[in-house]
Structure 1
Amino acid sequence: MSTPVSSDSLVDPASAVVQNVAQDVAAYLAKLNEAQRAAVEHGGPQAFAPGAPLPEPLLVIAGAGSGKTNTLAHRVAHLVVNGADPHRILLLTFSRRAAQEMTRRVSRIAAGVPGAAAVLAQGLTWAGTFHGIGARLLREYAEQIGLSPAFTINDREDSADLMNLVRHELGLSAKEKRFPAKSTCLAIYSRVVNTGDSLADVLARSFSWCIEWEPQLRALFAAYVDAKQKQNVLDYDDLLLYWAHMAQEPVIAADLATRFDHILVDEYQDTNRLQASILLALKPDGRGLTVVGDDAQAIYSFRGATVRNILDFPAQFDPPARQVTLERNYRSTEPILAASNAVMDAATERYTKNLWTDRASQQRPRLVTVADEATQARYVVEQILEAREGGMKLKQQAVLFRAAHHSATLEIELARRNIPFVKFGGLRFLDAAHVKDVLAVLRWAENPLDRVAGFRVTQLMPGVGPATAARLLDQVAACTGAYRAAEALAAFA
């Protein structure tokens, strides 16, 4: 016979955690500095009492190297430890990898609090990128907005191909004067969608060489949207666009607002207008909303992001959002931060912050001006060799660059001087397919008996596959001397 269960024993797991908070709070907050802890504990204990209003909006200005990710993870863990339902927490990050890392950190932080691990056993079910979360929500509400739940999502390459197909159907690729390529057309379309600006403004500001094609581009984009709708496909931009429009529907907006108590956003300085409008639709009064970012690190305006989102955030609510600034840097030395602070001070509009550290150093950063990329590469290599002569191993040295293709000139210089290196992020320049093709042509011209080079080069020709290439190389190998080899190639052709 089963044992009767009293109503007192039916306690929600999240509520049970609250009973154990007092004795464990110091353990997982002890390593935070004062500013970090202020951000983590924002709202105070009263904000987590049953029926209490959610905490007011919070803006965390996190300077470079100030422990932003650690602070945000502690904030999420603190919410769960104090009784927040993890299924009602929406965590929006810049990448899927960041969401996964954040989820792991939250679990590690809360693991030391009795009961919290059980609550987080299923993880943060609503942690991901704006696009990823948008796709999930669109499938749930698809029928309410006239969309089939079976829609498929085109990646950037598929979207460019569809744009190109529509481009051909409209006869734009057959113009006497070259029409913008498919990738350019997609970039213009994406900028219009994500910024909310008019096509004319986007062309004038970022694609001035395409202004003459404005009427044709307008027709192309209308046909592109029509093609997507007929095929029941969405592109990445649609995931935000449809979500933003969906959030403007009163019935859906009300339902969405009741799904999430707490919304936390990472890298807010790199959000666009669509993303900001989504947040305001979900949290009109800002209660339960936390955004973290740094206006000095806004680098994605070329993707439609606007630094205005973070600069204007506090004033969008009444009363204005609380601001907590993280200024202690854990990565750099004092001279580097002094230089960084001087650069940031020159900004006409910014959040005031003064990065500091207790890591002293006598070495000051240097600003070196060079004539061109080749000179820059030579300077860097000379510094590397000088450091090596001073006792610093090559594997202890690193060169940072903004994008993978920026390292091409440096890689050539390193290879020329026989300096071994490992590249992280993209292919090494000499490993790129088109570069290896050119090198193979040069090697084969120099040595017709080089079978590896010949095998690669011959298959670049139309209609030549591995079998044909092998027969050709066999004939070349049977010859003696470069002249005879050239005759064999001519005869085969």
Structure 2
Amino acid sequence: MNLATADSTFREPTVQPAYLARLNDAQRQAVEHGAGQIAGPLLVIAGAGSGKTNTLAHRVAHLIVKGADPRRILLMTFSRRAASEMARRVERIAGEVLGRDAAVITDALTWAGTFHGIGARLLRDYALEIGLDPAFTIHDREDSADLMNLVRHELGFSKTEARFPTKGTCLAIYSRAVNAQAPLNEVLGSAFPWCAGWAEQLKELFAGYVEAKQAQNVLDYDDLLLYWAQMAAEPEIAAHLGGRFDHVLVDEYQDTNRLQASILMALKPDGAGLTVVGDDAQSIYSFRAAEVRNILDFPNQFAQAADVVMLERNYRSTETILAAANAVIGEASERFTKNLWSERKSSDRPKLVTVRDEVEQANFVCDTILAEREAGTALKSQAVLFRASHHSGPLEIELTRRNIPFVKFGGLKFLDAAHVKDVLAVLRFAENPRDRVAGFRVLQLLPGIGPSAAAQIVETMTTALDEAMGLAGWRPPQRAADDWAGFVALYSG
């Protein structure tokens, strides 16, 4: 044996950093894509419970460890909270390698936030170049709805014979048209068919709304994306914008809309340094004009096709649950083919229960909850999941009827919603005219009657020998005169 030759060819095995050793093979492949350099586009399809957030945080940390300038990394998430959590994870992971320098380096990760938050900052940077006053203010949704309502009133649409859409509905229509980049008639036909008869008036309203915003130097949330997209459509500005960032990473890409996708394509038209993470099977925010085609079409939108990494190992569920989920996902006509799997075993199998309607569904759930309680499972250890908050209404009513205590997460309880409380107050007041709280609420539903007038009417009814006579004998203000006679007749009948 030639020792010299053996020694010269011997290589120590590469020691893998601890933060990479914790990842599974697919996660590590996504994290190490490009070996820390500015590589081609990457799409990470992250199945439910597959460690998506952990993988994205590791990728950002890995880029920094490999020498990427954190000030030139753009990280966009679905919420500000998610961005803050991501930055904390990046600091923790990078700290394992960089020690005390980690906090300093990740503090420079200043371009982490939501699309809207990042857009607001960039618009101020480029305001003068696009003819925008840098001192613009930003309206939240409530402010925007109030301004929409002001224009609506000025145009006389609040006094039409047939009921014109409310300010909230008008804003929702406007927002969807902007984010979906779709004609108004198309938006009305697909999402707001009950408002289709007002198409011409809505066009006039939206034109007035835009004019009012410009006159007042304000932007709404939708403008933050719209102006950014229009700015990025200018080749010179787009090149300068894209040149500010070596790496652009986007979370929850399945929930982006057309405006957001157009911004990304303008920033990185060749896909260099671009990473998007998401799951086509979890695209649920269509009401926000999310476009699932963004993620489905992503791999082939560049001259160099994007690399695709599948995260299929699930860390939350059992094999039996995932088998059912895979079967459902497999029915999609167009999708990224993946097979979620887990090392967690269970003999329990999910049940598919068919019911006739929502009432029967609520009864079944309540029966099951009570049966589980009898079997030893505490009520606080049981949960019911819904896709959307408003789907829980029938169950909430049945739980309340059966005196089963519950806590609702994500939105008001059905019986606490203002319109439901209004209806219940009407019924309570009809049943018991001495119910001052119900009467006070009901009376303020009438046009022209505010808190002071409502209090006076309730007091009059309380002191009258006959509540109906107390109503009939009260002289309403002029603004309420048209509706008062009908109200008295209704409650006296």
- TM-score, with normalisation over the residues of structure 2? 0.85
What CA distance in whole angstroms lies between the structure 2 residues aligned with 1:64 and 1:210?
A: 37
Distance 1:187 1:110, change over 3 A: same
Question: Would the aligned equivalents of 1:81 and 1:110 in 2 still touch at CA under 8 Å?
Answer: yes
Number of aligned pairs?
A: 458
Once the two structures are superposed, residues 178-231 of structure 1 have per-residue CA deviations (whole angstroms, 9 ceiling, x without a partner) of: 443333332222222212222233233333344443333333322222221111
Question: Would the aligned equivalents of 1:458 and 1:469 in 2 still touch at CA under 8 Å?
Answer: no
Structure 1 residues 196-211: aligned runs within 5 Å: 196-211=181-196
1:127 Cα deviation after fit: 0.8
1:446 Cα deviation after fit: 6.5
Distance 1:95 1:285, change over 3 A: same
Structure 1 residues 50-199: aligned runs within 5 Å: 54-115=38-99, 116-120=101-105, 122=107, 124-199=109-184
Instruction: Indicate which of 359, 362, 375 corresponds to 2:344.
Output: 359
SS of the residue corresponding to residue 61 of structure 1 reads: strand
The aligned residue for residue 12 of structure 1 is none
What CA distance in whole angstroms lies between the structure 1 residues aligned with 2:66 and 2:170?
A: 49
The aligned residue for residue 3 of structure 2 is none
1:408 Cα deviation after fit: 2.0
- Stretches of structure 2 that go unaligned for 5 or more consecutive residues are 1-13, 475-493
The aligned residue for residue 39 of structure 1 is 30
- Would you identify which runs of 4 or more consecutive aligned residues in structure 1 move more than 6 Å? 444-461
Letter aligned with residue 321 of structure 2: I
SS of the residue corresponding to residue 97 of structure 2 reads: coil
1:279 Cα deviation after fit: 0.7
What CA distance in whole angstroms lies between the structure 2 residues aligned with 1:163 and 1:191?
A: 15
What CA distance in whole angstroms lies between the structure 2 residues aligned with 1:111 and 1:276?
A: 33
The aligned residue for residue 242 of structure 1 is 227
Once the two structures are superposed, residues 350-388 of structure 1 have per-residue CA deviations (whole angstroms, 9 ceiling, x without a partner) of: 111011111122222122222222211111000000111
Question: Would the aligned equivalents of 1:411 and 1:428 in 2 still touch at CA under 8 Å?
Answer: yes
What CA distance in whole angstroms lies between the structure 1 residues aligned with 2:157 and 2:455?
A: 39
Instruction: Indicate which of 218, 225, 228 corresponds to 2:213.
Output: 228
Question: Would the aligned equivalents of 1:327 and 1:355 in 2 still touch at CA under 8 Å?
Answer: yes
1:472 equivalent to 2:463? Answer: no
What CA distance in whole angstroms lies between the structure 1 residues aligned with 2:275 and 2:471?
A: 71
Letter aligned with residue 330 of structure 1: Y
The aligned residue for residue 415 of structure 1 is 400
The aligned residue for residue 274 of structure 1 is 259
Question: Would the aligned equivalents of 1:459 and 1:469 in 2 still touch at CA under 8 Å?
Answer: no
Question: Would the aligned equivalents of 2:90 and 2:106 in 1 still touch at CA under 8 Å?
Answer: no
1:340 Cα deviation after fit: 1.3
What CA distance in whole angstroms lies between the structure 1 residues aligned with 2:25 and 2:114?
A: 29
Question: Would the aligned equivalents of 1:247 and 1:282 in 2 still touch at CA under 8 Å?
Answer: yes
Distance 1:314 1:396, change over 3 A: same
Letter aligned with residue 245 of structure 2: F
Distance 1:161 1:450, change over 3 A: closer
Once the two structures are superposed, residues 54-97 of structure 1 have per-residue CA deviations (whole angstroms, 9 ceiling, x without a partner) of: 11110000111111111111111111111111111111011111
- TM-score, with normalisation over the residues of structure 1? 0.85
What CA distance in whole angstroms lies between the structure 1 residues aligned with 2:123 and 2:174?
A: 21
- Stretches of structure 1 that go unaligned for 5 or more consecutive residues are 1-21, 48-53
SS of the residue corresponding to residue 102 of structure 2 reads: helix
Question: Would the aligned equivalents of 1:448 and 1:485 in 2 still touch at CA under 8 Å?
Answer: no
Question: Would the aligned equivalents of 1:335 and 1:365 in 2 still touch at CA under 8 Å?
Answer: yes
Q: Percent identity over the alignment?
A: 70
1:267 Cα deviation after fit: 0.6
What CA distance in whole angstroms lies between the structure 2 residues aligned with 1:180 and 1:408?
A: 24
Question: Would the aligned equivalents of 2:440 and 2:455 in 1 still touch at CA under 8 Å?
Answer: no
SS of the residue corresponding to residue 32 of structure 1 reads: coil
Question: Would the aligned equivalents of 1:341 and 1:355 in 2 still touch at CA under 8 Å?
Answer: yes
1:392 Cα deviation after fit: 0.9
What CA distance in whole angstroms lies between the structure 1 residues aligned with 2:422 and 2:164?
A: 29
Range with bigger deviation, 220-229 or 336-345: 220-229
What CA distance in whole angstroms lies between the structure 1 residues aligned with 2:358 and 2:189?
A: 30
1:437 Cα deviation after fit: 5.2
Question: Would the aligned equivalents of 1:36 and 1:326 in 2 still touch at CA under 8 Å?
Answer: yes
Question: Would the aligned equivalents of 1:151 and 1:232 in 2 still touch at CA under 8 Å?
Answer: yes
Question: Would the aligned equivalents of 1:455 and 1:466 in 2 still touch at CA under 8 Å?
Answer: no
Distance 1:283 1:491, change over 3 A: closer
What CA distance in whole angstroms lies between the structure 2 residues aligned with 1:319 and 1:123?
A: 31
SS of the residue corresponding to residue 241 of structure 2 reads: helix
Once the two structures are superposed, residues 275-315 of structure 1 have per-residue CA deviations (whole angstroms, 9 ceiling, x without a partner) of: 11111111111111100011111112222111111111111
The aligned residue for residue 290 of structure 1 is 275
Letter aligned with residue 39 of structure 2: P
